[in-house]
């Protein structure tokens, strides 16, 4: 556990970047620092690995005062990721990722093996290993940044707006990849962002900071949305905070069995299977292909007669995806699939809304 005990940072010119911050960062979880520009997020993060030295209070890691540790050793024991990845431009991707392991004295072969293994884990094709950072897209560079921070397998990761320099679609892909990786690795992560949506999606707990690093609220995302501690937090999480609940990673909602027909099914079979005027068509592996209206089937179901407007939600996805699947489905029933893309069943919008309400109530 990382513990802030009345930590402060003032500069000689009188600026108080952080006044008096106390909070705990539990092991194996993602703690997000979120707040407006200049509130002291980066300062607080960098005080953990002593890239910035606190001027008051203390920070402990597993009860050891970091001020008593060797600063270089402390720094290498924590992964650090920043905006724009901060890669070494004249080193290849492989060499960038292997940097810390080599500093720690690993032999070259082992460090390179590790680099290639990490590239795969963060979703980078191996053929990029010999390229230089400038030859990669912004999203790929951020993945290299994450891989490099993970290279020496540090228990703690410090991340300062790592995904904010890429476009929204790439950002979402990076966030999803990051969550999948964290589910596997269970690192202790401190993640800085000024984006409340990102904080809610990624955080196990979220620390909302205001100027001078004052802690306005420390809570799981659902609590933050349902019970903001004060006006500042309420403003910061926004007027549409009810909708934001939808971005929760997952919550249980009922998935009803949905009868299906194959391509080639007769009009008669479609008519007997359809519920509320629509039947779901799946392929041999039970992957959903689209909905079909029996009145529009001319003899047998062909792929051309399918309504493909509806989105498909993964059962491990967010409530937003499930609700979107229901609202975009011509039958009003959202299609839910498992990890392999095979049909699990369907859910109605009303049921997703009930699940949202229940989650908010349970977590507060």
Ligand X SMILES: Nc1ncnc2c1ncn2[C@@H]1O[C@H](COP(=O)(O)OP(=O)(O)OP(=O)(O)O)[C@@H](O)[C@H]1O
The helix/strand/coil state of 7 is strand
- Residue 43 touching ligand X (CB under 6 A): yes
* Minimum distance from residue 140 beta carbon to ligand X (Å): 24
User: At its nearest, how many Å lie between ligand X and the CB of residue 285?
Assistant: 47
- Assess contact for 303 and 296: CB atoms under 8 A: no
Segment 234 to 253, residues that bind ligand X, using CB under 6 A: none
- 22-41 residues near ligand X, rule: CB under 6 A: 37-41
Taking the C-alpha atoms of residue 320 and residue 323, their distance in angstroms, rounded to an integer, is 5
Please give the Cα distance from 47 to 44 (Å, whole number). 5
Nearer to ligand X, 40 or 203 (CB): 40
17 binds ligand X (CB under 6 A): yes
Nearest distance in Å: CB 190, Mg ion = 13
Q: How far is the CB of 342 from ligand X (least distance, A)?
A: 43
Which residues ranging from 181 to 220 are in contact with ligand X (CB under 6 A)? 194
Under the criterion CB under 6 A, does residue 56 sit at the interface with ligand X? no
Selected binder of ligand X within 6, 11, 108, 268 (CB under 6 A): 11
Minimum CB separation of residue 106 from ligand X in Å reads 33
> Considering the complex, what minimum distance in angstroms separates the CB of residue 238 from Mg ion?
21
User: Are 160 and 145 spatial neighbours (Cβ–Cβ below 8 Å)?
Assistant: no
Quick one: 42 or 305, whose CB is closer to Mg ion?
Answer: 42
The DSSP line for 281-316 is EE-TT--EEEEE-GGG--SB--GGG-B--S-EEETT
- Please tell me the distance from the alpha carbon of residue 139 to that of residue 124, in angstroms, as a whole number: 10
Single out the residue of 305, 267, 268, 306 nearest to residue 287, CA to CA: 306
Cβ burial of 40 (10 Å; 0-12, 13-18, 19+) is: buried
Choices 12-20, 89-97, 144-152, 305-313; region in contact with ligand X by CB under 6 A: 12-20
84 binds ligand X (CB under 6 A): no
Nearest to 35 by CA among 213, 239, 227: 213
CB of 194 to Mg ion, least distance (A): 8
Q: Is 42 in the site for ligand X (CB under 6 A)?
A: yes
Exposure on the CB side of residue 299, measured as CA atoms within 13 A: 4
Pattern 25-44, binding to Mg ion, x per CB under 5 A?
-----------------x--
Give the pairing of strands 279-282 and 333-337: unpaired
Contact of residue 40 among Mg ion, ligand X, none (CB under 5-8 Å per partner type)? ligand X
**Kind plus residue range of the DSSP H or E element containing 56:** strand 56-61
Bridge partners, residue 219, by sequence: 206
Query: Which CB sits closer to ligand X, 52 or 263?
Result: 52
Residues in the site for ligand X, rule: CB under 6 A?
Answer: 11, 13, 15, 17, 37-43, 194
Residues in the site for Mg ion, rule: CB under 5 A?
Answer: 42
């Amino acid at each position: 556990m990382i513990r802030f005990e009345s930590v402060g940072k003032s500069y000689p010119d009188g600026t108080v970047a952080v006044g008096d911050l106390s909070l705990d960062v539990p092991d194996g979880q993602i703690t997000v620092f979120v707040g407006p520009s200049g509130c002291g997020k980066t300062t607080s993060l960098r005080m953990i690995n002593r890239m910035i030295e606190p001027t008051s209070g203390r920070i402990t890691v597993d009860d050891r005062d970091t001020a008593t540790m060797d600063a270089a050793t402390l720094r290498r024991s924590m992964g650090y990721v920043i905006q724009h990845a901060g890669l070494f431009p004249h080193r290849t991707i492989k060499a960038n990722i292997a940097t810390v392991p080599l500093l720690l004295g690993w032999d070259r072969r082992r460090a390179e093996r590790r680099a290639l293994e990490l590239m795969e884990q963060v979703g980078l094709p191996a053929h990029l290993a010999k390229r230089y950072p400038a030859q990669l897209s912004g999203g790929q560079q951020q993945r290299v940044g994450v891989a490099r921070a993970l290279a020496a397998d540090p228990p703690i990761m410090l991340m300062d707006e790592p995904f904010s320099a890429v476009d929204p679609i790439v950002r979402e892909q990076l966030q999803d990849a990051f969550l999948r990786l964290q589910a596997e690795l269970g690192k202790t992560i401190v993640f800085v962002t000024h984006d409340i949506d990102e904080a809610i999606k990624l955080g196990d707990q979220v620390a909302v900071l205001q100027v001078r690093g004052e802690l306005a609220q420390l809570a799981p995302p659902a609590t933050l949305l349902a019970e903001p501690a004060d006006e500042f937090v309420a403003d910061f999480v926004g007027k549409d905070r009810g909708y934001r609940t939808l971005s929760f990673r997952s919550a249980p909602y009922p998935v009803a069995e949905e009868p299906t027909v194959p391509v080639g099914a007769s009009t008669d079979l479609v008519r007997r299977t359809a519920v509320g005027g629509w039947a779901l068509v799946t392929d041999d592996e039970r992957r959903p292909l689209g909905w079909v209206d029996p009145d529009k089937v001319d003899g047998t179901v062909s792929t051309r007669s399918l309504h493909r407007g509806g989105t498909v939600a993964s059962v491990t996805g967010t409530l937003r995806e499930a609700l979107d699947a229901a609202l975009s489905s011509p039958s009003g029933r959202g299609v839910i699939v498992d990890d392999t893309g095979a049909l699990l069943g369907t859910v109605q919008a009303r049921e997703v809304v009930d699940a949202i309400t229940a989650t908010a109530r349970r977590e507060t």
